[in-house]
Each structure stands twice: as C-alpha cells, then as structure tokens.
Amino acid sequence: MSLFKVIYKLNGTIAGKKRSFWNWYTKNLCVYSGVNFKDLDSVNFYGRCYINISNKSTVSIGSAFVCNSGLEYGIENFESKIRVADGAKLTIGDNSGMSSVVIGCYNEIRIGNNVNIGGGSRITDSNFHSLDWRFRADRELDRTGVKTAPVIIEDNVFIGTRTIIGKGVKIGARSIIAAGSVVVKDIPSDCIAGGNPCKVIKYINEVAE
C-alpha cells in the first residue's frame, strides 16, 4: 500500500471519529441545555456547532433534523451557531436541515417541516440595537428598547445559500428563496422570490426543474 493510501485511510478514520464526537457532544449539550427532541437518535450534528441556549428559553427540535457545520460538511467555511436568549422560543420541525447557519433567537423563530436552509444563511428576530441614535451612543441604553418580532418559516420552504432573514418575517409554505436574498417582508406561499429586498419573482404551481 502506498504512503498516500495510508494517509488517506488515516485521515478518513480521524474524520469519522471527529464526526462522531461532535455529534455526541452537541446532542448532549442540547439535552443539558433543556432542548426538547422529538427523536434524539434521528438527529445529527455534523461538524462543530456552537450552541448557546438560555435555561429560561424553550427549544423544540423535530425528528431527522440535520445541522451541517464547517467546510467539511457544507459549502461555507464556518461553523453553525445557534443562540436562544432568555424567554425566547425556537421550534424546528421534522426532516429539516441547515448548513453553516447562524440563528439568533430573542423572541420566537419557527421553522417548519421539510425546510432546507442553505449554507451561510442568517436568521434573526431582533434588531440587536436601538433604532434611536441617542440610545446607541450609550452601551447600556442601547440594550433597552430593542425591537424584536417572530420569524415564521412554513413547511417545505427552500432557502438558498447566504440568505438573510430579518425580524417579523413570514415565509409561506413551499416557497423558494433565491441565494443571497435579504428577506425583510413577508413572502407568500408557492412562489420563487429573491433579491434585496426580497420580492416575488413568480408563482409556482408545480415542481420546478
């Protein structure tokens, strides 16, 4: 056996052990943080995922959820990050998946069943900072009066890579959001939408090729 084949097999073995470790670690971290899993054994975290979940929050994850994290498991070279703050609620349905995604939940984020979220996308239900410049000039005041509003992503939605979804947005069932979109207003069901700001491009009545 050539040296290359030996190294190749060794790398594969190490990668497999890393994959198993991070999956085990992240699931146990979620359980420790109070996450409610519908079927823990069917859930998989591939690669290192940064989890920060308040013990005063509510997080529910459905069966067959997959979270890819890092270049090895997706198309983006950064880890997935999920932050759920005090009093916030994050719900992810069955058979949904995401890659190298950042989720900041400070109010409520609902992700339905069979939702695919492309690499490098970001979802947040908060402005993070005050809209009043006088508040932003003071770090302490800036933390007060921050606007939040629920984000709802209905069943069978496909969100393209590097999409940004802002607070108060509802994306209707079966819709497709084009890569690189910035979604700041509601998107209806059964359509293809894209752009900055994201707008309906066309409605779909059947599966697109």
Residues designated catalytic: 129
Q: Left, alpha or beta for 163 (phi > 0: left; psi -120 to 50: alpha)?
A: beta
**Ordered alpha helix ranges (H), the chain:** 3-32, 133-136, 139-142
Q: 133, 192, 206: which is closest to 158 by C-alpha?
A: 192
- Taking CA atoms, 95 is separated from 64, 98, 142, 169, in Å, by 5, 10, 38, 22
Tokens 């594969």 sit at which residue? Answer: 12
Question: Among residues 126, 119, 116, 203, which one has the least CA distance to residue 169?
Answer: 126
